[in-house]
Amino acid sequence: MQTAVGFIGLGVMGTPMALNLARAGTPLVVWSRSHGSDEALRDAGARVAEHVDDVFAACRTVILMLANDAAIDGALARGTPGFAARVGGHTIVNMGTNAPEYSRALADDIAAASGRYVEAPVSGSRKPAEAGQLVVMLAGAPDDVDAVRALVKPLCRDSFVCGDVPSALTMKLAVNLFLITMVTGLTEATHFAQRHGIDLARFADVLNAGPMGERRVAREARQTRRGRFLGAGRDQRRAEECAPRRRIRARHRHRVAAARHLPCALRRDRASGTWCGRHGRRDPRDRAAHRPRAMNLHRPPHTLERTCA
């Protein structure tokens, strides 16, 4: 008879993940502070616990899919005498996203209480979670990782062993950094196209068919790993030459990350507060080019303005 597995955290991601485990035949004991998914999980064959302690009493392996550090600490009773009782002799599987430093400290605390800890953050959103198409990154002791990897197979289309804690969470942050920069760049490119009168549906078709299609992204990842980088200098110069013809307002939510971390095609002249081309020249036709102006990154995104000049 298969041993019961605990699952704590039935939110947007946790509910479809728990459902997929239950539908795959995993004996599941679930608990969440909210109870909106109880009936669906019961119908799938899971047992809904009345109290979080019931999960630890019934299961030696407990999966956490919780929103933040405080929620994890609360579920484990970390910092209280109950912590050792909950984690001792258990394998705690953290599938949420936390800071690597937090995860490392949690792993140390669990080990000190005679428990085991595996990081298993996921890449993917609600739809892939519902379809069992997440990507899982795993870190921890090899034997524990092997057991958890087999356990989470119904949740994912692929899984990767990353090494010791906190390498799985560090890997996820690296993947998300790429995602953030890609989405930010796409947002800026879409706004650029829109302000120049480009049909956005056709723009999307060209993007999907062109050099940044899915296969190109994979190839560029391989090339970057070999120390070769995208040779698009001429196209960047063309964008720089074209941009001063429009006053472009940045509307993306990741404006701070973009301003601080992205290798922007346009360069900001610090003295004037305007955006310039590669050589820092300003268009004398733009009066704002002669007015010193600081760019306030803390204003709402719809009011953050970049003057291309």
Structure tokens at 299: 């204003």
* Domain 5-164 CATH class label: alpha beta
SS3 274: strand
Q: Which residues of 200-217 are buried (b: 16+ CB within 10 A; e: fewer)?
A: eeeeeeeeeeeebeeeee
Residue 6 DSSP SS3: strand
Written as six digits, the tokens of 268 are: 């900001």
Looking at residue 244, what is its pLDDT?
56
Q: What are phi and psi of 258, to 5 degrees?
A: -65, -45
SS3 category, 87? helix
156-187: pLDDT as tens digits: 999 999 999 999 999 999 998 888 888 888 88
Distance CA 187, CA 121 (A): 26
154 touches 26 (CB < 8 A): yes
Check residue 218 and give its pLDDT.
55
The pLDDT tens digits along the chain (309 residues) read 579 999 999 999 999 999 999 999 999 999 998 877 889 999 999 999 999 999 999 999 999 999 999 999 999 999 999 999 999 999 999 999 999 999 999 999 999 999 999 999 999 999 999 999 999 999 999 999 999 999 999 999 999 999 999 999 999 999 988 888 888 888 888 889 889 999 988 888 888 887 777 665 555 555 555 655 555 554 545 555 555 555 544 444 444 444 444 444 344 444 444 444 333 344 444 444 444 333 343 434 443 333 333
Q: Where are the domains of the chain?
A: 5-164, 171-246
Q: Write down the pTM of the prediction.
A: 0.72
pLDDT of residue 109: 99
Classify residue 200 by its DSSP letter: H
CATH architecture of 171-246: Orthogonal Bundle (1.10)
pLDDT score at 204:
83
Query: Residue 241's pLDDT is what?
Result: 58
